[in-house]
Amino acid sequence: MGHTATAQAGSGGLTATEHRLANGLRVVLSEDHLTPVAAVCLWYDVGSRHEVKDRTGLAHLFEHLMFQGSHQVKGNGHFELVQGAGGSLNGTTSFERTNYFETMPAHQLELALWLEADRMGSLLAALDDESMENQRDVVKNERRQRYDNVPYGTAFEKLTALAYPEGHPYHHTPIGSMADLDAATLEDARAFFRTYYAPNNAVLSVVGDIDPGATLAWIEKYFGSIPGHDGKPQPRDGSLPDTIGEQLREVVEEEVPARALMAAYRLPHDGTRECDAVDLALTVLGGGESSRLHNRLVRRDQTAVAAGFGLLRLAGAPSLGWLDVKTSTGVEVERIESAVDDELARFAEDGPTPEELERAQAQLEREWLDRLSTVAGRADELCRYAVLFGDPQLALTAVDRILDVTADEVRAVAAARLRPDNRAVLVYEPLAADAADAATGNDANDQNDATTEHAEGAGQ
């Protein structure tokens, strides 16, 4: 069954049709004949929030196992076949989903669909102790390289642990702990696959230079015989009060090149008008070199070498506003924090100027249109809105919702949420007295991605 591809108001002429197979697989198609390419994106409704105590990191580990071969594709064959056909591919894991994607020359679309169906339907035939140990080592090494052995690398992990209390499904990040990665067994992985890797727990989007009829026929041919599974447990409740109610604080002494102030603010859930409003607030305050915090701390006071404020949108729990400031040499964090609070208080009182709001809306509009203009970006957004909000069509009108937010809404959400009693704070103090003049490491926009990405060919 499907829906007619009628362009919605505000969609820029983009269309999407929806279909569902008998086994529950949800399919979203969007034609775009501008270039002879097609993107395949498959979102499974499983992420780190679905994990249980002592088995953190299993969702990300399983993402890697999905590239270790299936019934008809051995070893690194998935990469070899896609790249040999002129395509690109990868997979990522976040709190709320795991996704896999290929961008192919249009005439190679059937190959990508067959590959995704083969591992959805037959991965257990190839999952053994050797592949488990191989990818366990790869994921542990990824943790060392991206978290444990780089400056400020564990900041995101530490702040989420502060912002979400013990026992909350978002308390731990998708990378997982070393101890839990060591403890995961082959049977854990097999049970995880049986529970979550089923067609009725997935959304498949195909975008680009496609023939919808032929594409649906291939999808039915390769995915239609895969049985659904009804044993998936409901994710744990991620709701929390609107504000933390106090300032949580941790000081970290490490070998970092400069002092740093990082903070996570509890913000409205993704998919709400309030979340769009706070996105605009953070863009005005810390979204680039024209932002208030950059102008105050970097240009005027010269107390920081970098200052940013980004938004991690989350649907199943409060979103996080991520503040990231690296100090200039010799500057104390207390001075930075006082200036930040001064800017937030002024913004809560007066809100954005008309020029600031227009610039922030234009910035977010450009980012959205950049995403929707590529077949891969549009395929990903269609999946996101289908999995998290039940309606892929919302992806095509997201820009209008941003542009509809008023200055008073932006001011109101900032006043309610961007307060000292609604944040978890992380202060980095260098171990060495002669810390480097220039700060390095992740900025706010890097940190708020909160995904782990498959390393191509790793462990082979």
Residue at token pair 């991520």 = 322
* Dihedral over alpha carbons 140, 145, 147, 148 (to 10 degrees): 80
pLDDT category at 219 given cuts 50, 70, 90 is very high
pLDDT of residue 13: 80
Tell me the per-residue pLDDT of 377-402, one tens digit each, with 9 for 90 and over: 999 999 999 999 999 999 999 999 99
> For residue 431, what are its two tokens?
């171990």
Do 450 and 95 contact (CB within 8 A), yes or no? yes
Indicate whether 38 pLDDT > 80: yes
Whole-number Å distance between alpha carbons of 452 and 155 = 15
If you average pLDDT over residues 193-215, what whole number do you get? 97
Do 340 and 323 contact (CB within 8 A), yes or no? yes
pLDDT category at 70 given cuts 50, 70, 90 is very high
Alpha helices in 168-291, H assignment, sequence order: 178-183, 186-196, 212-223, 273-286
Distances (CA, A) of 405 to 20, 225, 281, 395, 413: 34, 45, 11, 17, 11
Do 347 and 320 contact (CB within 8 A), yes or no? no
pLDDT category at 235 given cuts 50, 70, 90 is confident
- What order do you get walking across the sheet with 319-327 strand by strand? 246-254, 422-430, 260-267, 319-327, 304-312
Whole-number Å distance between alpha carbons of 320 and 54 = 25
Residue at token pair 């040999």 = 84
pLDDT of residue 454: 64
**Cα angle at 134 between 131 and 136, to 5 degrees?**
105
Indicate whether 426 pLDDT > 80: yes
Helix (H, G, I), strand (E, B) or coil at 249: strand
If you average pLDDT over residues 12-31, what whole number do you get? 95
pLDDT category at 12 given cuts 50, 70, 90 is low
pLDDT of residue 435: 45
The end-to-end CA distance of the chain, in Å, is 42
Buried b (16+ CB within 10 A) or exposed e, 295-332: ebbbeeeebbbbbbbbbbbbbbbbbbbbbbbbbbeebe
Other C-beta atoms closer than 10 Å to the C-beta of 348 total 18
Whole-number Å distance between alpha carbons of 340 and 362 = 24
Whole-number Å distance between alpha carbons of 174 and 172 = 7
pLDDT category at 459 given cuts 50, 70, 90 is very low
Tell me the per-residue pLDDT of 266-303, one tens digit each, with 9 for 90 and over: 999 999 999 999 999 999 999 999 999 999 999 999 99
pLDDT of residue 8: 52
Q: What percentage of the chain's residues is helix, strand, coil (to nearest 5)?
A: 45, 20, 35
Query: Going by DSSP bridges, is the β-strand pair 202-208/98-105 parallel, antiparallel, or unpaired?
Result: unpaired
Do 42 and 219 contact (CB within 8 A), yes or no? no
pLDDT category at 451 given cuts 50, 70, 90 is confident
Whole-number Å distance between alpha carbons of 410 and 357 = 9
Helix (H, G, I), strand (E, B) or coil at 163: helix
pLDDT category at 455 given cuts 50, 70, 90 is low
pLDDT of residue 432: 66
Residue at token pair 């239609």 = 224
- pTM of the full structure: 0.92
pLDDT of residue 234: 87
H/E segment holding residue 57: none
